[in-house]
Chain A
Amino acid sequence: MTAISQKRPKQKMDAKTRRRKIGHVLGRIIFYLVCACLAYQLLYPVLYMSSMAIRDPGDINDPSIVWIPKHFTLDNFSDALKSMSYWKAFGVSMTLSIVCGFFDVFSCAIAGYGFARFKFPGKNILFLIVVFTIVVPSQTLILPLYSRWRYASFGGLAQLFTGKESINLIGTLWPMILPSMLAMGVRSGLYIFIYRQFFMGLPVALEDAAYIDGAGPYRTFFSIMLPNVKNAIITVFLFSFVWNWGEYYLSKQFLGSDNRSIMTALSMLRMDLSQVSALAGVQLGTNPEKIVTRMQAGCLLTAAPMLLVFIFTQRFLADSIEHIGIK
């Protein structure tokens, strides 16, 4: 390289490097411009939510205000908190997200390991069923599931303990928690898939070493394999947490009106806001501006816990993405 370039006239080479430098800088500028556009476009709804939630309803139709309102107010938040019964719904959803997330992490890891490392008859068909559980819309299953929880008998167990033929679990949190204990919670099929990919990526020698040292498959799994897939555990917990938080359809039917989940509360906020009489202490009238700002405050309040969890876990997520691969 150096030998060739020394033969060339000095002037020409300078021009060439300069051209290349300019091209490089231009490329960077275009790159960051594209990044900025994409980021703006994805952050837009969050910015909009935040901007609307802190502005006075009177500021909505002011065309001179783009993002920063002239009159700040926190009334939107306090009204949204009240009419969503936010803290109660927050408690319900937080309990569900943490408990289901915890159970999903373990139950799906066990199933994923079984699919990744063992051979047994019918394995492929069973794994196809795992995929099917993600494909089937919950609408197909909601009625049978509802009657299952409404008249839960557990094969006679309920009669044994309560003396009644069946017990009613609708309105409790069990219809969401029990399935996730058995690796059938919200989108559990996906977590089983993620775990399977991770376990398949670990070297077999790891287990062989443990077997030689006399550990059985269960001990090997819990003390060798699980600690080696920390990123998968964090990823699955994050997914399970946010998707249980965002789950709407099943929780609306199963939890009843006493245990409204946060998404049910948010979906009914518009109606609740327009029905003034139904609310304690919130006087809105049917002012559409007030409803819009309060709706956005409600959205922000609903999204905030997820954003917080995401900020703390996103570096694990990015790391685990680099290692999932497809095999």
Chain B
Amino acid sequence: MKLGSKIGYETKRKWYGFTFILPWLIGCILFFLTPMYQSFRYAFQSLEATPTGFAATEVGFENFSSLFFKDTNFLPDLVGSLGDLIQVPLILVYSLFFAILIKGKFPGRTFMRAVAFMPVIIGSGVLMQILKEDVFASGARGGSADTYLFSAGNIPALLTSMGMGTGVVNFVNQVISRVFDLTWRSGVQIMLFLAGLHGIPDYLYEASGLEGAGSFAQFWKVTLPMLTPMILLNTIYSVIDMMNDYGNTIIRSINNTMFSLFKFGYASAMSVVYFLVIIIILGLVALLLRRFIIYQD
């Protein structure tokens, strides 16, 4: 008590705050920061598994140089993984649409909300992968009519005959064949948008309504600006989710290098490069979107 009265209230609060995050800090050092450092070290080594642990020899930048200059798969895989990010805007539009749809009160809202959150609940990597392979790729059902929702079918041919360029047709084709992927990746985003929509104060709508704004104008002038923080958060979440996905090409090839080829150092170099690429992309996204963000108050 004596000691307590000697040091000021503010200092005491600081230490209390520190004790609250201490368990996390210990966990973070043990299970995140040191493994992270270790992984960076591994990237510069050639590792062999021995009965007493890994035997390492320093190889300098050899892993990285062969990654960039000798490996014929890594760079194309990386570009392919980045190309998947084209889905992010589509996910945002879809989840915003869905969130607005189920925001209001209507009979059956509970059911629609439960359905909307379902991908969050059962959309885990393995299940998704099996479903994608079985449900949507299989011809097991003899091309029966009820897969039409997800296969591109005749639409590309239709577009081509309408005189669209092949670029557009390919894009549309890609989008349609990934509708399943798209909708099943949007669970968390819908939840976040819904949270954002409920956070917009009613008086903004009332005031703009009195000024004569219709619901169309209200969407562009009130809803969208107020949602910009959520849009940033959702963009970042979507990018992370996509890059860390079980089915991602790079993730798969890292796994393969690690656990089938046992090139541990090389796999570490791959994952370090990949991690840095993700950080750069997230930084770019944050920088680009930062200017458009409007915070309440």
Contacts and interface: CB of A to CB of B under 8 A. Distances in A.
A250 to B, nearest CB: 11
Contact of B117 (A31, A247, A299, A314): A314
B249 interface: no
B233 A326 contact: yes
B125 A137 contact: no
Nearest to A183: B24
Interface core residue of B35, B146, B149 (most chain A CB under 10 Å): B35
B198 interface: yes
A151 interface: yes
Contacts of A83: none
A45 B131 contact: yes
Nearest to A304: B122
Contacts of B112: 35, 38-39
A149 to B, nearest CB: 10
B16 interface: yes
B7 interface: no
Nearest to A52: B134
Contacts of A113: 20
A61 interface: yes
A143 B264 contact: yes
B38 interface: yes
Contacts of A84: none
A38 B20 contact: no
B279 A135 contact: yes
Interface stretch (B166-174, B204-212, B238-246): B238-246
Contact of B124 (A181, A245, A289, A322): A245
B83 interface: no
A157 to B, nearest CB: 13
Contacts of A327: 296
B130 A295 contact: yes
Interface of B: 13-21, 23-28, 30-36, 38-39, 42, 47, 52-54, 98, 101, 106, 108, 110-127, 129-131, 134-135, 138, 140-142, 144-146, 149, 179-180, 183-184, 191, 194-196, 198-199, 229-230, 233, 240, 243-244, 246, 251, 254-255, 258, 264, 267-268, 271-272, 274-275, 278-279, 282, 296
Interface residues of A, number: 97
Given A40-B149, A138-B244, A221-B20, 14 more contacts: A38-B116, A44-B135, A66-B145, A110-B24, A114-B17, A114-B18, A126-B21, A136-B32, A141-B32, A141-B39, A143-B267, A144-B35, A309-B121, A326-B195
B32 A133 contact: yes
A248 B47 CA distance: 25
9 contacts: A41-B179, A66-B144, A110-B24, A111-B23, A137-B274, A139-B274, A182-B23, A184-B30, A263-B124
Interface in A28-50: 31-32, 34-35, 38-46, 48-49
A317 interface: yes
A240 interface: no
A286 to B, nearest CB: 15
Contacts of A120: 14-15, 17-18
Given A184-B24, A242-B120, A267 B126 contact: yes
Contacts of B15: 120
B273 to A, nearest CB: 10
B134 A295 contact: yes
A226 to B, nearest CB: 12
A298 B244 CA distance: 25
B22 to A, nearest CB: 8
Interface core residue of B31, B123, B149 (most chain A CB under 10 Å): B31
B53 A314 contact: no
B213 to A, nearest CB: 19
A100 interface: no
A310 interface: yes
A82 interface: no
A147 B53 contact: yes
Interface in A63-112: 63, 66, 107-108, 110-111
Interface string A115-156: 101111101001001101111111111111101101100000
Nearest to A267: B126
A182 B27 contact: yes
A227 interface: no
Contacts of A315: 110
Contact of A183 (B23, B53, B125, B180): B23
A217 B16 CA distance: 7
Contact of A111 (B24, B129, B191): B24
Contact of B116 (A42, A107, A183): A42
Interface in A283-323: 288-289, 292, 295-296, 299, 302-303, 306-307, 309-311, 314-315, 317-318, 321-323
Given A45-B131, A135-B240, A34 B101 contact: yes
Interface core residue of A45, A147, A246, A314 (most chain B CB under 10 Å): A45
A118 B196 CA distance: 25
Contacts of B233: 326
A299 B258 contact: no
Contacts of B195: 321-326
A114 B138 contact: no
A195 B104 CA distance: 26
